[in-house]
Amino acid sequence: MLINRPFWQQLIEKAWQQKSIIWLMGVRRVGKTSLCGSLDNIEYFDCESPRTRQLFDDPESFLASQKGKRVILDEIHRLNNPSEVLKLAADHYPEVKIIATGSSTLGASSKFKDTLTGRKREVWLTPLLLQEIKDFGNENIQHRFLFGGLPSFFLTNHLPEQDFKEWIDAFWAKDIQELFRVEKRYSFQKFTELLLAYSGGIFEASKFSAPCEVSRQTITNYLAILEETFVVHVVRPYSTHKPTEIVMAPKVYSFDTGFSCYAKGWRELRTEDSGVLWEHCVLNELQGQLQTRKINYWRDKQGHEIDFVLRHARNNFLTAIECKFTNLSSNLGQSSINKITGNFKAFRRHYPQGKNYIVSSNIDKPFERRFDDIVLSFVNVKDLIQGCR
């Protein structure tokens, strides 16, 4: 049974109003095929099927036969020249509405010689948003943390440990081997698993060279591949005051809390685990709902840090976001409050314009509190997204 996903369906319909070609991207098993199947009046073609690939021996005839239709080209990278098909459709058959799906950015594969700049709209399907978990039958956020946000994983009642392992094997076999030239399976998978386990930490390539038995440059190349395929998210430091700020060290996050828990060996969650997993979920919300990877963090050389920073089109207007699983205004001591406010004060000394958010899971209605010259807005995820749009 297909589950209705109105946020994503509306996003696709809006994108189709702007361009006839949509590139629907996201990791393996994130639900791209099911989402396409939930749309009205679609013609579905699985490009992994040899019979489907034969249809594209004459792409013009195929496109002419689909005039006025809404067409899904699933796993389009399996075609011999997928970018040629999409370019031909955009330029000469705009009345054919197409969704092409893939597990990476369009430019990641050498098969895509043309990234269709100006001819397409991109929709990035992320793991389940928090507003969706009720529709998928479980509102327990701890379940979302531990089982993750891939729909088939989230829907199970027993921790799908074997499915996590099989996903990693399939990712290597079907995504990496088909799209990239990576030779050392052990090294690549070891690096992937280490990144998932250390998710949310500062990335230093040299630390991974020895355990993965490859050079520092190879580690850097592996990271770029994992970022292109959405398996990790590289959050880079925001800086314009280089003498006092961290400028080079990125933070790397797993694409999914479930995979991070699996890589850490967590089979059940302690109270103290919720903080870092909540941070991952907030990042997923920002990426999915705002459809952006332009998210930074901030840290200075005195140790002050802001979890996420968003830069708006208006010059010098920065949104600062701190993630706290539970509402800290009511259950933390004064020393903890001082630390949090100190981080915001240090940030605003450099960047005075913008909103300051503390986002928590247990806030029903947003409210503000003033700490000296700093005003902090305490919000839930829904109100955070509204404030960031």
Residue ranges matching CATH 1.10.10.10 in the chain: 131-268
Alpha-carbon gap, residue 182 to 200, rounded angstroms? 25
pLDDT surpassing 80 at residue 108: no
Alpha-carbon gap, residue 330 to 337, rounded angstroms? 10
Estimate to the nearest angstrom the gap between the alpha carbon of 170 and the chain centroid: 19
pLDDT of residue 245: 85
**CATH architecture entry for 131-268:** Orthogonal Bundle (1.10)
Contacting residues for 176 by C-beta, under 8 A, at least 6 apart: 182, 188, 225, 229
Alpha-carbon gap, residue 82 to 352, rounded angstroms? 47
Alpha-carbon gap, residue 101 to 99, rounded angstroms? 6
Contacting residues for 81 by C-beta, under 8 A, at least 6 apart: 111, 113
pLDDT surpassing 90 at residue 140: yes
Residue ranges matching CATH 3.40.50.300 in the chain: 6-124
DSSP 8-state secondary structure symbol assigned to residue 343: H
* Residues 323-334, mean pLDDT to the nearest whole number: 70
Alpha-carbon gap, residue 265 to 271, rounded angstroms? 16
Return mean pLDDT, the chain. 92
Lowest mean pLDDT among 135-139, 231-235, 310-314: 310-314
* Tens of pLDDT, residues 168-180: 999 999 889 877 8
Tell me, yes or no, if the pTM score tops 0.75: yes
Q: pLDDT confidence of 372, banded at 50, 70, 90?
A: confident
Q: pLDDT confidence of 329, banded at 50, 70, 90?
A: low
pLDDT of residue 61: 96
Q: What percent of the chain has pLDDT over 90?
A: 81
**Which CATH number describes the domain made up of 6-124?**
3.40.50.300
Q: Which of 294, 327, 322, 318 is nearest to 308 (CA)?
A: 322
Residue pair 245/237 in contact by the 8 Å Cβ criterion: yes
* Residues 120-143, mean pLDDT to the nearest whole number: 96
* Tens of pLDDT, residues 49-82: 999 999 999 999 999 999 999 999 999 988 888 8
